[in-house]
């Protein structure tokens, strides 16, 4: 009885402890099943600039990595003027197929989700914006209210209709304001964050990522018929940077970078042509031109603008060899400036860009001035060389004063010039020691005459 009593006492203490542990395990398990767990990781992807293949690869890799690591949520911080339509479609498909809930957050204040950014934002499970941001202008081409039948823009109209259908598919799946979304494509409308929340274009407005995590805690996300309750309390934020390859692709998709590379390439090749054998300018110019044309593959380039820039360069070169009284030079400067302004074609139907997207005026102005300055310097050097007397060869000898070392008669004589003795002849006899000036070079014989005063 004594041993039984001891066992009973141990049982009285062990049984409640086991019960507490069981309740705790069941609570955690229930929390896991209902999505109410605390802790965990939230992946943050920072997308700034144009939407291009590098951006699409970055978002795809980030979402796949988050799914592999069982992260709670993926937040895409977005600030874009637009981008390549094919890359936009790839990103939307990646977001739609994600195993992890995706939040697109237009931030920070002053950011803009333009054109392609509208499609990406509205495709998210949760669309959020920071105060002071705006969204809209998702036009595929610059229709401008024109009649496509009258203007012969059948292809543009087809692309526009296809883009509208693309947008309708997104908002129908996400349950957002379809009327506004269609207007964003058809009429290029744009609204602020507060208005977007009021119009139910986005789900919420948050001042920061931390504020966003607080507001989406407990949010219900439905995917493939399964509802998940988000738990973002006590999560750890993991910022995923771009890989080197993604950074290079994204950097070269900047129109300012592409424009500068193009201009450096042209200057480098021209310097090599003016000074053959220098090598370095030619190598740098060739590399920059190749990189510029790579950039042109992911940008809406107006090749009419490219031709105007090249025409401007040709006119500058012609100015060096043709007396045009600066007409060719002025034409080259105008052609270069207009070509630079028209280089980016926001009307290209394969791209979704904000109308103001393009090469910055702050980039164009100094670059054009540098090009004009370069050709002005070359013109000055060429003009100076044309006016200067040659100092080499036979032409450089004419007009030089030298000394007669052997008297010059009918059979000629000798003069001392340039550290050497030359045969010389003259129309009149000249005594040895006299100063003479060279008037003509006939092979190895110099024709001379007396200097004035001798």
Q: What is the pLDDT of residues 112-124, one digit of tens each?
A: 999 899 999 999 9
pLDDT digits (tens, 9 = 90+) for 204-234: 999 999 999 999 999 999 877 788 899 999 9
The answer to the question of residue 248 being in a domain is: no
Q: Who contacts 382 (Cβ-Cβ below 8 Å, separation ≥6)?
A: 320
- Assess whether 86 and 167 both reside in one domain: yes
Largest CA distance in the chain: 157
Task: Provide mean pLDDT across the span 364-374.
Answer: 88
Lowest mean pLDDT among 110-119, 151-160, 366-375: 151-160
Which of 42-51, 155-164, 230-239, 444-453 has the weakest average pLDDT? 155-164
Q: Confidence band (pLDDT; 50, 70, 90) for 360?
A: confident
Helix, strand, or coil here: 393? helix
Residue 425 sits in a domain whose CATH number is: 2.40.50.140
Identify whether the C-beta of residue 424 lies closer than 8 Å to the C-beta of residue 413.
yes
Are the beta carbons of 78 and 105 closer than 8 angstroms? yes
Model confidence at 10: pLDDT above 70: no
220 lies in the same domain as 99: yes
Q: Residue 406 falls within a domain, yes or no? A: yes
Same domain, 5 and 142: no
Residue 454: pLDDT band (50, 70, 90) is very low
Nearest to 255 by CA among 305, 219, 198, 217: 305
Please report, for residues 273, 314, 378, 380, 388, the alpha-carbon distance to residue 385 in angstroms, rounded to integers and kept in the order given: 17, 21, 11, 9, 5
- Cβ atoms of 333 and 312 closer than 8 Å: yes
Q: Would the pLDDT of 316 be above 60?
A: yes
Q: Is the pLDDT of residue 397 over 60?
A: yes
On the question of pLDDT at 145 being above 90, the answer is no
> Same domain for 329 and 359?
yes
Q: What pLDDT was estimated at residue 250?
A: 86
Q: What percent of the chain has pLDDT over 70?
A: 82
Domain tally, the chain: 4
Over range 430-434, report the average pLDDT: 89
Last residue of a domain, one of 194, 213, 242: 242
Specify whether the backbone of 92 is left (phi greater than 0), alpha (psi in -120 to 50) or beta.
alpha
226 and 282 co-located in one domain? no
Looking at 217-302, list the stretches that DSSP marks H as alpha helix, in order from N- to C-terminal side.
244-252, 255-274, 280-296
Tell me the DSSP string of 180-209.
HHHHHHHT--EEEHHHHHHTTSSSEE-SSH
**pLDDT at residue 154, as a whole number:** 63
The overall average pLDDT reported for the chain is 83
Instruction: Give the integer Cα–Cα distance in Å for 288 and 321.
Output: 27
Q: Report the alpha-carbon distance of residue 205 to residue 112 in Å, rounded.
A: 14
| pLDDT higher than threshold 70 for residue 407 | yes
Confidence of residue 153 (pLDDT cuts 50, 70, 90): low
Question: In the structure encoding, which two tokens stand for residue 116, read together?
Answer: 């392609």
> What is the per-residue pLDDT across 14-26, written as a single tens digit (0 to 9) for each?
555 545 445 444 4
Q: 364, 387, 410 — which closes off a domain?
A: 387
Average pLDDT over residues 256-260: 92
Q: Within 13 A of 211's CA, how many CA atoms are on the CB side?
A: 12
pLDDT at 345 over 90: no
CA distance 96 to 63: 11
At residue 394, does pLDDT exceed 70?
no
Q: Which residue has the higher pLDDT, 213 or 452?
A: 213
Higher pLDDT, 249 or 33: 249
Q: Give the H or E element holding residue 355.
A: none
In a domain, 423, yes or no: yes
CB atoms within 10 A of CB 414: 17
Is the backbone peptide bond immediately before 108 cis, with ω within 30 degrees of 0? yes
Residue 173 lies in a domain: yes
CB atoms within 10 A of CB 352: 33
Question: Is residue 249 assigned to a domain?
Answer: no
Could you tell me the CA-to-CA distances from 424 to 126, 429, 435 in Å, in that order?
98, 11, 13
| 333 shares its domain with 369 | yes
For 18, the domain range is 1-25
The C-alpha atoms of residue 427 and residue 160 are separated, in whole angstroms, by: 89
Domain shared by 271 and 339, yes or no: yes
Are residues 407 and 337 both part of a single domain?
no
Question: Looking at 177-181, 269-273, 284-288, 333-337, which range is the least confident one?
Answer: 269-273
- Section 369-398 average pLDDT: 73
Distance CA 21, CA 352 (A): 57
Q: Which residue has the higher pLDDT, 69 or 375?
A: 69
* Packing angle, helices 255-274 and 361-387, rounded to 10: 10
Is the pLDDT at 36 greater than 80? The verdict is no
* Whether residues 100 and 189 fall in one domain: yes
Which of 387, 421, 437 finishes a domain?
Answer: 387
Considering the domain boundaries, does residue 30 fall inside one?
no
- Is position 67 within any domain? yes
Are residues 351 and 419 located together in one domain of the fold?
no
Q: What is the pLDDT of residue 452?
A: 73
pLDDT at 41: 94
Predicted pLDDT at 269: 86
Higher pLDDT, 389 or 169: 169
- CA torsion angle for 305, 309, 315, 320 (degrees, to 10)? 180
Number of H helices, E strands in the chain: 16, 18
Mean of pLDDT values over 276-282: 80
In this structure, the answer to whether residues 79 and 122 fall within a common structural domain is yes
Our measurement of the distance from residue 19's CA atom to the centroid of its chain's CA atoms, rounded to an integer in Å, reads: 63
Q: For residues 233 and 38, is the Cβ–Cβ distance under 8 A?
A: yes
Q: What is the pLDDT of residue 284?
A: 93
Question: CATH number, domain at 115?
Answer: 3.90.226.10
Q: Does 437 lie in the same domain as 362?
A: no
What end-to-end distance do the CA atoms of the chain give, in Å? 152
Q: Which among 84, 39, 90 is positioned nearest to 64, based on CA atoms?
A: 90
Contact 333, 372 (CB under 8 A): yes
Cβ atoms < 10 Å from Cβ of 205: 20
Helix (H) or strand (E) holding 416: strand 412-417
More confident residue, 251 or 206: 206
The answer to the question of residue 247 being in a domain is no
Q: Which residues contact 272 (CB under 8 A, 6 or more apart)?
A: 278, 279, 281, 282, 285
Winning range, highest mean pLDDT, from 141-155, 172-186, 410-424: 172-186
**24 or 335, which is more confident?**
335
Identify whether the C-beta of residue 50 lies closer than 8 Å to the C-beta of residue 82.
yes
């Amino acid at each position: 009885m004594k041993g039984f009593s001891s066992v009973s006492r141990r049982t009285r203490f062990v049984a409640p402890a086991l019960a507490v542990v069981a309740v705790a395990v069941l609570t955690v398990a229930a929390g896991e099943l209902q999505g109410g767990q605390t802790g965990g990781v939230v992946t943050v992807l920072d997308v700034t600039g144009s939407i291009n293949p590098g951006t699409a690869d970055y978002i795809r890799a980030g979402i796949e990595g988050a799914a592999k690591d069982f992260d709670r949520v993926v937040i895409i911080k977005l600030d874009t003027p637009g981008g390549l339509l094919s890359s936009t479609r790839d990103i939307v498909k990646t977001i739609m197929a994600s195993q992890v809930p995706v939040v697109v957050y237009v931030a920070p204040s002053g950011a803009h989700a333009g054109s392609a950014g509208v499609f990406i934002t509205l495709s998210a499970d949760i669309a959020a914006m920071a105060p002071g941001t705006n969204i809209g202008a998702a036009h595929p081409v610059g229709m401008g209210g024109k009649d496509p039948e009258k203007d012969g823009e059948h292809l543009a109209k087809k692309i526009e209709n296809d883009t509208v259908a693309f947008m309708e598919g997104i908002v129908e799946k996400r349950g957002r304001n379809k009327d506004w979304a269609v207007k964003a494509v058809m009429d290029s409308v744009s609204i602020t964050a507060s208005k977007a929340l009021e119009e139910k274009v986005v789900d919420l407005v948050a001042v920061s990522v931390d504020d966003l995590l607080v507001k989406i805690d407990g949010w219900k996300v439905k995917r493939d018929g399964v509802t998940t309750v988000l738990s973002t309390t006590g999560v750890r934020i993991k910022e995923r940077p771009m890989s080197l390859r993604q950074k290079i692709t994204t950097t070269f998709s900047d129109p300012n970078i592409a424009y500068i590379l193009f201009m450096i390439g042209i200057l480098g090749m021209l310097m090599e042509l003016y000074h053959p054998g220098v090598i370095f300018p030619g190598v740098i110019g060739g590399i920059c031109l190749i990189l510029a044309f790579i950039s042109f593959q992911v940008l809406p380039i107006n090749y009419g603008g490219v031709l105007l820039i090249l025409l401007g360069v040709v006119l500058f070169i012609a100015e060096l060899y043709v007396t045009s009284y600066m007409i060719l030079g002025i034409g080259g400067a105008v052609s270069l400036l207009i070509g630079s302004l028209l280089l980016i074609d926001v009307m290209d139907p394969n791209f979704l860009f904000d109308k103001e997207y393009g090469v910055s005026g702050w980039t164009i102005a100094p670059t054009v001035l540098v090009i004009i300055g370069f050709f002005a310097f070359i013109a000055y050097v060429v003009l100076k060389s044309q006016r200067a007397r040659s100092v080499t060869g036979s032409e450089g000898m004419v007009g030089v004063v030298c000394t007669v070392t052997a008297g010059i008669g009918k059979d000629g004589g000798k003069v001392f010039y340039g550290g050497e003795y030359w045969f010389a002849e003259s129309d009149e006899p000249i005594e040895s020691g006299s100063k003479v000036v060279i008037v003509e070079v006939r092979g190895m014989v110099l024709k001379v005459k007396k200097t004035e005063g001798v």
